[in-house]
């Protein structure tokens, strides 16, 4: 046998290999055609389901400004950190570093993720600072991403905190005007379709589905200059007199607008970690108190309306006290014989009681109701209190007497200011507004013009050397107002040495433009009369307000009056 016959033939093997290679190539070509042509739509849909997402486009909340366009509340863009627990838990080595950036414990972070392991989205921290957001981006942890949101910022801080209110973490109004006008201020989020990578980062915007619509801006009636002025003076008075709290309200007589509303104590809405319980409420609207002698002008107005009294009608107040059943009513002094005007000027409880007892109780009740006592002002402020005014059918003689000098009835500072604005506006009652008014709204006449002017003349006498409110005087202006000093009610009666000091008034008295109420709750430094504690705050704030609003003086010598502005000033 030769050597060539012993060598096996491999030709058939080559053929098999070539056939196999050709077959595999054919299968690959067929598979490629199948994927690219036949099942293209299905696979595209499946791929999009894994990477294409519809995300919300946040819409910022409308800005709140004062009447002159100065910002009182604005929304600033911030980032929030979120994660996909299912993905992040697969890379636990990132957790310690992530927790350190977010100032969380690694164990606590892992428990948060494990508890929500069935979700694809969970917030890790809302509204982080820019430096934290930058560190999160640099870390690049799988399943962790940033989401753009908005955080509310209040430039005025504690000066307007209780009035403006606050929003929650989701930028929804929770207190004050933020809550009252939440639907107006809230924007409408938009949406868009995007492509995300496996880490949850947006790599491409595909299309816009709906544009975001920001909330509408809100222009308030508040004048920020007056707000700061009133806050400064009120805070100073509360601290100097060691009082528990206080409120100031300023109204525009012509329009019913609230130009300033401040309270003490307050809080910083930009730092809520130090916020104390109870400081968020707007005491000028939600808290009631007995108004004391500041209510006497309305008793005298009812008496003048009855036709039985004039400003010169004599009232005997000697010997400075009177007995009604088992109760004794007193004046601070024995004023003897007073006319009706001096019942106001001297603030005689005896004189007011005798006038009240001489009238049909329904007449006094109707007067109180007509100026708004016992009902809310309709301002729309959340939580506004209506105060207390019992029906006249339940009044006994002692109630008829005490109601004439402000006991047995409760009001808010806003209610009292609203009532005094009626005296200032020649008997017209206008609605209260926290929003800037372009055209003065129509009012309702509740008191004759002649009577309101007689009352204003009496109230001017209070702010004189002969009255109790001299410290409320403003140089160059005629001021009309009334002091009030009230024993605080306690369980079973009234405290002998705890008081509320009040002053309510208006200026310029000739043609009033501004009405103001000052209430100081429980001063404890030895001074407690309304004329000592509240009247100076009124005088200081009113002097500044009249100057800032460029309201011309009405109590200048003739030569100086000739050079004063002829119009009513500007707001």
pLDDT digits (tens, 9 = 90+) for 159-168: 999 999 999 8
pLDDT, tens digit, 9 for 90 and up, residues 385-418: 999 999 999 999 999 999 999 999 999 999 999 9
pLDDT mean across residues, the chain: 88
With respect to residue 44, please indicate whether it lies within any of the assigned structural domains.
no
Across 106-133, average pLDDT: 84
Q: Pull the structure tokens for residue 555.
A: 């109590």
Please give the positions annotated as active site. 293
Q: Are 144 and 90 in contact (CB under 8 A)?
A: no
pLDDT, tens digit, 9 for 90 and up, residues 430-448: 999 999 998 888 899 999 9
Buried b (16+ CB within 10 A) or exposed e, 14-32: eeeeeeeeeeeeeeeeeee
| Residues 366 and 494 occupy one common structural domain | yes
pLDDT, tens digit, 9 for 90 and up, residues 356-392: 999 999 999 999 999 999 999 989 999 999 999 999 9
Asked whether the predicted pLDDT for residue 1 surpasses 60, the reply is: no
With respect to residue 516, please indicate whether it lies within any of the assigned structural domains.
yes
Confidence bin at 136 (pLDDT 50/70/90): confident
| Residues 183 and 238 occupy one common structural domain | no
Confidence bin at 144 (pLDDT 50/70/90): confident
**Rounded to 5°, angle at Cα 371 from 232 and 259:** 25
| Residues 420 and 475 occupy one common structural domain | yes
| Residues 352 and 403 occupy one common structural domain | yes
With respect to residue 103, please indicate whether it lies within any of the assigned structural domains.
yes
| Residues 158 and 259 occupy one common structural domain | no
For CA atoms 126, 127, 131, 133, the dihedral sign is positive
| Residues 322 and 370 occupy one common structural domain | yes
Residue 190 contacts by C-beta under 8 Å, 6 or more apart in sequence? 56, 57, 59, 208, 209, 210, 211, 212, 213
Q: Pull the structure tokens for residue 224.
A: 């920020």
The distance of Cα 393 from the centroid of its chain, to the nearest Å, equals 38
Residue 299 contacts by C-beta under 8 Å, 6 or more apart in sequence? 352, 355, 356, 364, 367, 404
If you ran DSSP here, which 8-state letter would residue 566 be given? S
| Residues 325 and 425 occupy one common structural domain | yes
Alpha helices in 474-569 (DSSP H): 530-548, 558-561
The distance of Cα 175 from the centroid of its chain, to the nearest Å, equals 6
| Residues 211 and 315 occupy one common structural domain | no
Confidence bin at 8 (pLDDT 50/70/90): low
Residues above pLDDT 70, as percent of the chain: 88
With respect to residue 298, please indicate whether it lies within any of the assigned structural domains.
yes
Domain that holds residue 362: 224-267+283-556
Q: Are 518 and 264 in contact (CB under 8 A)?
A: no
| Residues 178 and 323 occupy one common structural domain | no
With respect to residue 489, please indicate whether it lies within any of the assigned structural domains.
yes
State how far the alpha carbon of 315 is from the alpha carbons of 100, 110, 201, 355, 360, in Å: 79, 81, 84, 8, 18
Which residues are 315's β-sheet partners?
A: 338
Q: End of a domain among 163, 196, 219?
A: 219
Q: End of a domain among 203, 219, 235?
A: 219
Which helix (H) or strand (E) segment holds residue 164: the answer is: helix 161-164
Asked whether the predicted pLDDT for residue 182 surpasses 80, the reply is: yes
Q: Which has the higher per-residue pLDDT, 554 or 51?
A: 554
Q: Are 347 and 353 in contact (CB under 8 A)?
A: no
For CA atoms 158, 162, 164, 168, the dihedral sign is positive
Which helix (H) or strand (E) segment holds residue 402: the answer is: helix 397-402
| Residues 434 and 483 occupy one common structural domain | yes
**Rounded to 5°, angle at Cα 379 from 377 and 380:** 120
Across 468-475, average pLDDT: 95
Distance CA 405, CA 342 (A): 14
With respect to residue 272, please indicate whether it lies within any of the assigned structural domains.
no
With respect to residue 358, please indicate whether it lies within any of the assigned structural domains.
yes
Q: Pull the structure tokens for residue 532.
A: 């000592």
Confidence bin at 206 (pLDDT 50/70/90): low
Q: Are 255 and 443 in contact (CB under 8 A)?
A: no
What pLDDT sits at residue 570? 35
With respect to residue 289, please indicate whether it lies within any of the assigned structural domains.
yes
Asked whether the predicted pLDDT for residue 2 surpasses 60, the reply is: no
Q: pTM of this prediction? A: 0.84
| Residues 291 and 363 occupy one common structural domain | yes
What pLDDT sits at residue 341? 95
- Edge-to-edge strand order for the sheet containing 514-521? 258-264, 245-252, 514-521, 493-507, 480-490
| Residues 247 and 296 occupy one common structural domain | yes
Tally of structural domains, the chain: 2
What pLDDT sits at residue 567? 39
Asked whether the predicted pLDDT for residue 571 surpasses 60, the reply is: no
CATH number at 326 reads: 3.40.710.10
CATH number at 66 reads: 3.90.1310.10
């Amino acid at each position: 046998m030769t050597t060539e016959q012993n060598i096996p033939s491999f030709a058939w093997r080559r053929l098999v290999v070539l056939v196999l290679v050709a077959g595999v190539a054919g299968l690959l070509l067929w598979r490629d055609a199948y994927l690219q042509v036949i099942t293209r739509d299905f696979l595209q849909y499946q791929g999009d389901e894994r990477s294409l997402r519809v995300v919300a486009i946040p819409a910022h909340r409308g800005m709140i400004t004062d009447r002159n366009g100065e910002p009182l509340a604005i929304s600033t863009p911030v980032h929030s950190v979120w994660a996909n627990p299912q993905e992040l838990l697969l890379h636990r080595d990132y957790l310690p570093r992530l927790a350190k950036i977010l100032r969380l414990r690694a164990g606590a972070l892992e428990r948060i993720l494990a508890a929500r392991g069935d979700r694809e989205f969970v917030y890790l921290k809302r509204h982080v600072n820019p430096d934290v957001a930058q560190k999160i981006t640099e870390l690049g942890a799988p399943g962790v991403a940033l989401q753009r949101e908005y955080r509310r910022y209040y430039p005025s801080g504690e000066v307007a905190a209780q009035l403006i209110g606050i929003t929650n973490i989701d930028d929804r109004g929770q207190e004050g005007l933020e809550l009252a006008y939440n639907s107006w201020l809230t924007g409408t989020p938009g949406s868009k379709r995007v492509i995300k990578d496996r880490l949850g980062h947006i790599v491409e915007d595909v299309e816009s589905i709906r544009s975001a619509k920001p909330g509408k801006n809100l222009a308030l009636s508040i004048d920020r200059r007056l707000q700061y002025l009133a806050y400064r003076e009120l805070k100073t008075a509360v601290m100097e007199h060691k009082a528990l709290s206080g409120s100031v309200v300023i109204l525009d007589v012509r329009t019913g607008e609230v130009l300033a509303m401040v309270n003490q104590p307050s809080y910083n809405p930009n730092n809520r970690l130090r916020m104390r319980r109870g400081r968020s409420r707007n005491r000028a609207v939600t808290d009631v108190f007995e108004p004391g002698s500041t209510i006497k002008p309305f008793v005298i107005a009812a008496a003048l309306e009855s036709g039985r009294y004039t400003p010169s009608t004599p009232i005997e107040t000697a010997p400075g006290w009177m007995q009604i059943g088992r109760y004794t009513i007193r004046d601070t002094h024995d004023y003897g014989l007073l006319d009706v005007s001096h019942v106001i000027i001297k603030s005689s409880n005896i004189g007011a009681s005798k006038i009240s007892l001489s009238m049909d109780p329904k007449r006094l009740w109707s007067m109180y109701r007509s100026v708004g006592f016992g009902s809310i002002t309709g301002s729309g402020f959340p939580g506004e209190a209506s105060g207390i005014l019992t029906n006249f059918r339940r009044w006994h003689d002692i109630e008829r007497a005490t109601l004439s000098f402000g006991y047995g009835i409760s009001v808010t500072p806003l209610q009292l200011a609203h009532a005094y604005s009626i005296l200032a506006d020649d008997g017209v009652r206008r609605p209260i507004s926290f929003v800037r008014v372009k055209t003065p709204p129509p009012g309702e006449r509740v008191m004759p013009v002649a009577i309101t002017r007689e009352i204003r003349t009496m109230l001017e006498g209070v702010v004189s050397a002969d009255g109790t409110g001299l410290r409320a005087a403003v140089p160059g202006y005629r001021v009309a107002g009334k002091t009030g000093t009230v024993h605080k009610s306690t369980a079973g009666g009234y405290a002998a040495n705890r008081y509320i000091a009040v002053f309510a008034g208006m200026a310029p008295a000739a043609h009033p433009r501004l009405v103001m109420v000052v209430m100081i709750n429980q001063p404890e430094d030895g001074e407690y009369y309304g004329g000592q504690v509240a009247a100076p705050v009124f005088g200081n704030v009113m002097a500044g307000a009249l100057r800032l609003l460029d309201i011309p003086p009405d109590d200048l010598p003739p030569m100086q009056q000739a050079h004063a502005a002829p119009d009513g000033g500007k707001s």
